[in-house]
């Protein structure tokens, strides 16, 4: 079942109009449903609205995108399953979540694989890395459209963390991703996979002692109300990814496919611009909320997770990407 609504004209009257005008084919506006788990105040929601506007403009209104925020259509995992069955058209997820659906995304999830933001952007734009990974999942039921900056991920916890030793015995929420679980075990914490939407309550009720994410989780999602320490160890830069169901993709005209990809590229650039400003603002807000920002020596964290890098180099699916990412580190 495909969620494409015929919104421009009623089918019967369009056919009648078509035959009256002698037109051999009529075009209908299609509306694609796009699900994501972010807040309407988040930069990613703005980037997705921007994407939707661009698609409409580039197709002269032939293709529309309706954005459903706040996990209204399900968790990230559920959205991906709906995408695979064709019951949903598009979703914004991230490389961590997608790793369980297409192992190629695991290349982005190796801790400390990116030196800095520029290295990260070079990898996303590279034909041998980012662009190849976007098209690697067609056989798994979805196609990658675009990447979005989601900053760097850091711990936020109910007690201060200065080194991996402080994480011992702490229950830390992770995304349902093999790499995230492995990373947490190597750092000495006990990983607890949970959907993002359940995290505030889990922190509040001390089901978990902490989590890890960009600073927006602390402010926009108010996790800083229930976890007062933010440790800037910068263990990962996990891109957000906009994907489309293979079933929907195959039904789009070549012109509309090109418009979707071009809108995706523009949305990536738009997000790059707004993300930097957002992060600076949110850091100030976190401090105002009474969250202590802890800067640490990253070396012990890097050492703890080093085995993941060696393992990745032996993994036939991700090794070529990992090698290519390293080669871009100049």
192 binds ligand GCU, rule: CB under 6 A? no
Q: CB of 225: closest distance to ligand GCU in angstroms?
A: 17
- Long-range contact list for 275-282, CB < 8 A, 24+ apart? 275/43, 275/148, 275/149, 275/150, 275/151, 278/43, 278/216, 279/151, 279/214, 279/215, 279/216, 282/215, 282/216, 282/218, 282/219, 282/220
To the nearest 10°, report the CA torsion of 11, 13, 19, 20: -160
Task: Please name the helix (run of DSSP H) or strand (run of DSSP E) that holds residue 183, with its range, or none.
Answer: helix 178-187
Binding mask 25-44 for ligand GCU (x = CB under 6 A): ------------x-------
Question: How far apart are alpha carbons 154 and 136 in whole angstroms?
Answer: 29
175 binds ligand GCU, rule: CB under 6 A? yes
Return the number of the residue (37 or 246) whose C-beta is nearest ligand GCU.
Answer: 37
Exactly one of 108, 196, 230, 301 binds ligand GCU (CB under 6 A); which one? 196
Return the number of the residue (129 or 217) whose C-beta is nearest ligand GCU.
Answer: 217
Q: CB of 240: closest distance to ligand GCU in angstroms?
A: 5
- Count, residues near ligand GCU per rule CB under 6 A: 10
94 binds ligand GCU, rule: CB under 6 A? yes
Interactions with ligand GCU, residue window 205-224 (CB under 6 A): 213, 217
> Is residue 234 within 8 Å of residue 119, measured between CB atoms?
no
76 binds ligand GCU, rule: CB under 6 A? yes
Interactions with ligand GCU, residue window 240-299 (CB under 6 A): 240
With a CB cutoff of 8 Å and minimum separation 6, the contacts of 152 are 214, 234, 235, 236, 237
Exactly one of 63, 90, 129, 150 binds ligand GCU (CB under 6 A); which one? 150
Q: CB of 196: closest distance to ligand GCU in angstroms?
A: 3
Q: Which of 214, 211, 212, 213 minimizes the C-alpha distance to 275?
A: 214
Interface positions with ligand GCU (CB under 6 A): 37, 76, 93-94, 150, 175, 196, 213, 217, 240
């Amino acid at each position: 079942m495909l969620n494409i609504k015929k919104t421009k004209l009623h089918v019967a009257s369009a056919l009648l109009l078509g035959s009256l005008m002698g037109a051999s084919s009529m075009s209908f506006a299609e509306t694609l449903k796009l699900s994501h788990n972010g807040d309407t105040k988040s930069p990613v929601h703005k980037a997705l609205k921007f994407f939707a506007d661009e698609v409409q403009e580039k197709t002269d209104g032939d293709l529309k995108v309706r954005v459903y925020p706040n996990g209204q259509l399900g968790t990230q995992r559920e959205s991906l399953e709906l995408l695979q069955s064709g019951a949903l058209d598009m979703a914004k997820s991230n490389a961590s979540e997608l790793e369980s659906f297409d192992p190629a995304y695991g290349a982005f999830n190796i801790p400390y694989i990116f030196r800095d933001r520029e290295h990260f952007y070079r990898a996303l734009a590279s034909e041998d890395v980012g662009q190849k990974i976007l098209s690697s999942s067609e056989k798994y039921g979805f196609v990658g459209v675009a990447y979005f900056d989601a900053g760097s991920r850091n711990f936020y916890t109910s007690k201060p963390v200065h080194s991996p030793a402080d994480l011992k015995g702490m229950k830390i929420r992770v995304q349902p991703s093999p790499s995230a679980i492995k990373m947490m075990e190597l750092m000495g914490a006990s990983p607890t996979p949970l959907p993002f939407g359940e995290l505030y309550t889990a922190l509040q009720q001390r089901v978990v002692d902490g989590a890890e994410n960009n600073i927006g989780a602390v402010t926009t999602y108010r996790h800083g109300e229930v976890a007062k320490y933010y440790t800037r160890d910068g263990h990962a830069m996990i891109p957000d990814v906009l994907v489309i169901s293979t079933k929907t993709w195959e039904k789009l005209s070549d012109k509309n496919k090109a418009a979707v990809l071009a809108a995706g590229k523009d949305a990536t650039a738009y997000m790059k611009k707004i993300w930097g400003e957002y992060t600076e603002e949110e850091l100030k807000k976190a401090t105002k909320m009474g969250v202590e920002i802890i800067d640490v020596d990253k070396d012990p964290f890097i050492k703890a997770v080093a085995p993941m890098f060696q393992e990745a180099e032996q993994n036939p699916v991700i090794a070529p990407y990992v090698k290519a990412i390293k080669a871009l580190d100049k």
